[in-house]
Chain A
Amino acid sequence: MNIVTVCGMGMGSSLVLKMNIDDILKKNGLQANVEACDLGSLTGKMADIVVTTYELKSQVEGKGYNVIYVHNVIDKKAMAEIILAAIQNLKK
C-alpha cells in the first residue's frame, strides 16, 4: 500500500504527516510505504491514499487520487481515526 503526504514544500507539514502516519501504522500493525512530497511532485505518483491539509484541497483534488484532508497535522488521535477508516475502505 502506498500513502503519499503532500504539502507546499515537501518538508514541513507533509513530513509531520508522514511521521505521524508511520507511527499510526506501526501501532496498528499495518504496513505501508509512506512518502512525503511537494505539490509539484505529486503528479504521476502511485498512491492508494494521499493525505494533505484542507488548505491545499483545491491544488490536490481532481487529480484522480483518493485524498484525505486534515485540519490539524499534529493531532495523531484524530488522524488515526481518519487514516484507519480510509485503509479499511481500501480493503473493501
Chain B
Amino acid sequence: MLRELLTNATVRVNVEVKNWEDAIRKGGELLTQDGAAEQSYVDAMVDSVKKFGPYMVIAPGIAMPHARPDAGAKRLGMSLLTLKNPVEFGNKVNDPVYIVVCLAATDHTTHICVMRELVGILADSKKMDKIRSAKNLEEVLCLLQE
C-alpha cells in the first residue's frame, strides 16, 4: 500500500535543491535512510538520467527517478520530495520539475499495485496542485492518504 511507503520518513516538503542531480540524491537519501536501497542505487538513479536522458520526467512537473533492482534496491521503497524551487531536468516538454518521486523495487513487477495508487494521485491535477502548494509535511501526508 502506498501509505506504508510514503510516510513521514520518506516524504519531505519544500526542499531546496541546487539542480536535478541534487534533487535525485536528496530523494535517494530518504530511500537509503529508510533501508529500501543502498547508496549504489542512488548513484545508479543519477547515472540513468545521464545515460538515457530525462525520460523519467513522466508528466509536466513530475519526475520518477529509479534504477534497475540489481543496482542496489533492498526492498520496495518510495520517497517523495516537493521542491521549493522547480528544477530543469532537460525534458523540453515536461520541465520544470517540482515533485520528485524516487522508486526502489526489487523486481520488475511486484510494485504494480503501489504504482497504480501513485499514478492515481499523480493524474489527479487538483490533488497535485494542493500537494505542490502544501506548506508542511502533515498536509502532504494527508493528501497522499486520502
Contacts and interface: CB of A to CB of B under 8 A. Distances in A.
Interface of A: 7-13, 15-16, 19-20, 36, 38-39, 53-56, 59, 71-76
A82 to B, nearest CB: 15
B30 interface: no
B60 interface: yes
A12 B56 contact: yes
Contacts of B55: 7-8, 13, 53, 55-56
Given A72-B58, A72-B94, A73-B58, A8 B119 contact: no
B119 A19 contact: yes
A42 to B, nearest CB: 13
Nearest to A72: B59
Interface string B43-55: 0000010011111
B52 A36 contact: no
B115 A15 contact: yes
B105 A55 contact: no
Listed residue (B48, B68, B109, B123) with the most chain A CB atoms within 10 angstroms of its CB: B123
Contacts of A15: 108-109, 111-112, 115
Contacts, number: 76
Interface of B: 48, 51-60, 62, 64, 66-69, 91, 93-94, 103, 105, 107-109, 111-112, 115-116, 119, 122-123
A53 B91 CA distance: 11
A55 B52 contact: yes
A74 to B, nearest CB: 5
A10 B55 CA distance: 12
Contact of B66 (A11, A54, A72): A11
30 contacts: A8-B52, A8-B55, A9-B66, A9-B68, A11-B68, A11-B69, A11-B105, A11-B109, A11-B111, A12-B56, A12-B58, A12-B103, A13-B56, A15-B108, A15-B111, A16-B119, A19-B112, A19-B115, A20-B119, A38-B68, A53-B58, A55-B53, A56-B52, A56-B53, A72-B58, A73-B58, A73-B59, A74-B122, A74-B123, A75-B59
